[in-house]
Amino acid sequence: MPLIRVESLTKIYSSTKEGFAGIREVSFEVNEGEVVGVIGRSGCGKTTLLRCIAGFESSDSGKILLDGKSVSRPGPDRFMIFQGLDQLFPWLSLRGNLIFAMKTVNKDANMKELQRKAEYYLELVGLSEWGDCYPYQLSGGMKQRAFLARALSVNPRLLLLDEPFGSLDALGRKAMQDLLLRLWGKTGTTIILVTHDIDECIRLSDRILVFTKGTLKFNLINPLPRPRMSEDPAYMDFYGKISRILEKDANLKWANAVLR
């Protein structure tokens, strides 16, 4: 049985003659331990899909099944990392943020155990020395690592990442992708990753869902073995394939409007 199954999921915010905002009739499955990338142009419904799975948006129709059970409300079994750097609670230290998350999810846990686990996850993302710092004292990259540490500390079945490294520069981005892969290798957490960066999608994902205008156009298996090198001709082929699909989706009307 797949870990998560999405069946004919539809969520429309608004629609006009020319199109609609949201997603329509989206169906796919994600197996335990898989990294699935969701790629598409801005406004193609990637984030909507993720928010529906996380339970922040209710769908108009269709089902989301986690381990065969329907989910509709947010819960720690599907932990999401949002866009933006303001996700840590500013009144708690970094360690405090992790402990608060674990304590909220598991009320019976004892404090010593939580502290030990917080140290473990901080070390996993390389922030051991920063546990006492408050969010305003951390850089953007450190916050991103902290989000990952907190997310993993609550031991979710599914990790949902919404363009998680979008605010980082190229080097920071690469470092975070490597870190994510290392963490995934260690914990085996199932991940759905939304991105508009083809390279990021290929490097990280086992499977790639290509979205155009609110519908799931392609469900592609990533044929490349890890680690994936951009110099590899097979990588370039795969990149070209995805790129062509997305280019076809280019909104010509919008482009014309800009030219006019």
Regarding 101 and contact with other proteins (CB under 8 A), the answer is yes
Residue placing its CB nearer to other proteins in the complex, 2 or 55: 55
Q: Between 44 and 101, whose beta carbon lies closer to other proteins?
A: 101
Region of 33-41, 72-80, 118-126, 213-221 interacting with other proteins (CB under 8 A) = 72-80
**Contact status, residue 122 vs residue 130, Cβ threshold 8 Å:** yes
Does the footprint of other proteins cover residue 74 (CB under 8 A)? yes
> Least distance (Å) from other proteins to the CB of residue 94?
13
165 part of the interface to other proteins, by CB under 8 A: no
What's phi and psi for 152, nearest 5 deg?
Answer: -70, -30
Query: Which is closer to other proteins, CB of 30 or CB of 81?
Result: 81
Sign of the torsion angle spanned by Cα atoms 162, 164, 169, 170: negative
- C-alpha–C-alpha distance, residues 125 and 121, integer Å: 7
Report if residue 166 touches other proteins, rule: CB under 8 A.
no
> With binding defined as CB under 8 A, does residue 87 bind other proteins?
yes
- Scanning 21-29, 87-95, 191-199, 242-250 for contacts with other proteins by CB under 8 A, the matching segment is 87-95
Neighbours of 125 (CB within 10 A): 22
* DSSP per-residue letters across 8-56: EEEEEEEEETTEEEEEEEEEEEE-TT-EEEEEE-TTSSHHHHHHHHHTS
Task: Give the residue among 47, 12, 38, 100 at the shortest CA–CA distance from 242.
Answer: 38
What count of other Cβ atoms lies within 10 Å of the Cβ of residue 217? 16
Query: Please, are residues 204 and 217 in contact by the beta-carbon 8 Å criterion?
Result: no
For other proteins, which residue of 19, 84, 126, 140 counts as binding (CB under 8 A)?
Answer: 84
| Window 132-151: residues binding other proteins (CB under 8 A) | 134, 136
For other proteins, the binding residues (CB under 8 A) are 54, 56, 74-76, 78-80, 82, 84, 86-87, 89-91, 100-101, 104-105, 134, 136, 154
